[in-house]
Amino acid sequence: MTTQSSAVKAPSLFGNRFLQTILMSNVLLQIGIWVRNFAILLYVADVTDKDPYAISLISVAEFAPIFVFSFIGGTFADRWRPKRTMIWCDLLSAVSVFVVLLTIHYGSWQSVYLVTFISAILSQFSQPSGMRLFKQHVPEAQLQQGMAMFQSLMAIFMVLGPMLGTFAFSTFGLEISIAVMGVAFLLSALVLVRLPKDKEEPRPAAEKGQFRKELSEGFRYVWKSPVLRTLGAVFMLAGLAVGIAQALGLFIVTDRLGKPEDFLQYILMVNGAAMLVGGGLVAAFAKKVPAPLLLAIGMLVSALCTVIVGYSTNVPLTLVVQFLNGLVFPCIHIGISTMMLKWSDPSIVGRVNGVMSPMFAGMMVISMSFAGALKDAFSLVSIYTGSGVLFLIGALAMLPTMRHRAPELAQS
């Protein structure tokens, strides 16, 4: 009776202090990140006369730390106090921004890459700590709704971020834009002070080789769980498919639709607006749709939409399909994040996140790297059909997981 009554009296999601704080922090971080991304992109393009190698290094600086530091960050996130870790990461990011800003001011423009690189490294420690806190402070029944709110926030900035970043750079220039990022990270650290106090968790005394042991435990945990193992494979398939579609989106505009290059921004805005609506819909219906089914629906509809985009030469049809694709894309990220949390023990959430995150990012970077070669060898129709098949395989792979119940639910 006590358990039932406490479940009934559980606070609403919007009344959850942890979620309020983490969302406020993420708003500030997103402002800083988008201003940084576009300021650096436009600055490097201007300084190097749009040198593709120099511009591609921006993406390398952003994604490379995921491969190297994600496993390490996830392991330390399970060791350290998560609230303290997140605050220190934001503070160190802010300090590094202002240090790099000094070097830029005194003539070393190549230092702009360090702003992205250092921030990306620290986020590999901060992100899994946030996942740990999410697991601790958000009730099981509200996990999917909480993730949907996160996705909606990301979608808002996918629409507003490019405009915000372009405005900041064109109005204030590089140095003030970079300083905005530093201030945003400082304010985020201050906001995170509101987080509930870290729980005291007894840990065994450190032993020689313990870090390596804990690191390998994350891989073993994912491999032994049939659900997490399948989820990893789906994450990789989604990364491959998304990377191809993103890298060749410009050619869909010019070769298939016969439009100028700047028409791509309208497709991205339609897609971002749809993601915002989709995230809201998932938040509203999260309790009624299990996470594995949500993920399978997202992968299946994305498969269909990707194939149609490849075939279409009609602008209205492409825009409608891109809207539909954006509408269901939150299902993929929300479904994966929710399942990762539900099927992971609180003591190992950081390491599971550290193992899973590079799978999507890694496959996306690999497929983006080979996209140019694929474009030379095959038609856009064939490439986008192949990308759709990858989504379809991911959707079919989810079917066996639907009979599994999350450990918490299985024990109740």
Output the CA angle 68-71-72, nearest 5 degrees: 80
pLDDT given at position 271: 84
Residue 206 above 90 pLDDT?
no
Average pLDDT (86-101) is 90
Model pLDDT, residue 184: 93
Task: Over range 140-151, report the average pLDDT.
Answer: 74
Q: What is the mean pLDDT of residues 62-84?
A: 79
pLDDT score, position 5: 42
Same structural domain, 393 and 253: yes
Q: Is 108 within the bounds of a domain?
A: yes
pLDDT of residue 58: 78
Residue 207, pLDDT above cutoff 60: no
In a domain, 358, yes or no: yes
Q: Is 108 helix (H, G, I), strand (E, B) or coil?
A: coil
Residues 224, 188 share a domain: no
> If you average pLDDT over residues 16-42, what whole number do you get?
86
Q: What is the mean pLDDT of residues 142-166?
A: 77
Cα–Cα distance between 20 and 87 in angstroms, integer? 16
Instruction: Identify whether 9 is part of a domain.
Output: no
236 belongs to a structural domain: yes
Q: Are residues 82 and 136 in the same domain?
A: yes
91 and 150 fall within a common domain: yes
Are residues 235 and 97 part of one domain? Answer: no
Instruction: Work out the burial of residue 79: count CB atoms within 10 Å of its CB; fewer than 13 is exposed, 13-18 middle, 19 or more buried.
Output: middle
252 in the same domain as 172? no
- Are residues 19 and 63 both part of a single domain? yes
pLDDT at 143 exceeding the cut of 80:
no
Higher pLDDT, 113 or 152: 113
Q: Is the pLDDT of residue 198 over 50?
A: yes
**pLDDT on residue 200:** 65
Give the pLDDT confidence score for residue 407 in this predicted structure: 65
pLDDT in tens, 272-281: 888 888 877 8
Distance CA 412, CA 407 (A): 9
Q: Report yes or no: 343 and 229 within 8 Å, Cβ to Cβ.
A: no
Write down the pLDDT at residue 4: 45
Q: Considering only residues 230 and 404, tell me which one the structure prediction assigns the higher pLDDT.
A: 230
271 CB burial (10 A radius; 0-12, 13-18, 19+): buried
At residue 3, the pLDDT reads: 42
> Per the domain annotation, does 178 fall within a domain?
yes
Return the higher-pLDDT residue of 29 and 369: 29
Number of structural domains found in the chain:
2
Residue 379 belongs to a domain: yes
Query: Does residue 28 sit in the same domain as residue 151?
Result: yes
pLDDT recorded at residue 190:
94
Q: Which of 154, 177, 192 is the endpoint of a domain?
A: 192
Reported as a pLDDT band with limits 50, 70 and 90, residue 14 is: low
More confident site: 386 or 220:
386
Domain C-terminal end among 140, 175, 192: 192
What is the domain extent for residue 168? 14-192
Instruction: Give the residue-averaged pLDDT of 126-151.
Output: 78
pLDDT value at 63 more than 80 = no
Residue 311 has pLDDT above 90, yes or no: yes
Which stretch of 119-123, 168-172, 241-245, 369-373 has the lowest confidence by average pLDDT?
369-373
pLDDT at 218: 76
CATH code, domain carrying 373: 1.20.1250.20
Q: Which pLDDT score, from 0 to 100, does residue 145 have?
A: 76
What is the arithmetic mean of pLDDT over 227-244? 88
pLDDT at residue 50 in the model: 67
Q: Which DSSP string do the residues of 176-227 spell out, in sequence order?
A: HHHHHHHHHHHHHHHHHTTSPPPPP---PPP-TTHHHHHHHHHHHHHHH-HH
Based on the domain organization, do 242 and 287 belong to the same domain? yes
More confident residue, 262 or 341: 341
Q: What is the mean pLDDT of the chain?
A: 81
pLDDT, position 409: 45
Longest dimension (CA), the chain: 69
Question: Residue 202 pLDDT more than 80?
Answer: no
Does residue 339 share a domain with residue 289? yes
Cα–Cα distance measured from residue 370 to residue 379, given in angstroms and rounded to the nearest whole number:
14
| pTM (predicted TM-score) | 0.72
Highest mean pLDDT (candidates 144-158, 175-189, 287-301): 175-189
Domain shared by 116 and 181, yes or no: yes
Quick one: average pLDDT of 112-123?
A: 86
Residue 412 has pLDDT above 50, yes or no: no
The most confident of 163-167, 231-235, 306-310, by mean pLDDT: 306-310
Of 192, 227, 255, the last residue of a domain is 192
Average the pLDDT over each of 206-210, 250-254, 360-364 and give the range with the smallest value.
206-210
User: Which range is least confidently modeled, 175-179, 280-284, 310-314, 397-401?
Assistant: 280-284
The distance from CA 44 to its chain's CA centroid, rounded to whole angstroms, is 24
pLDDT band at 6 (very low <50, low <70, confident <90, very high): very low
Does 258 lie in the same domain as 182?
A: no
In a domain, 408, yes or no: no
Asked if the structure places residue 273 within a domain, the reply is: yes
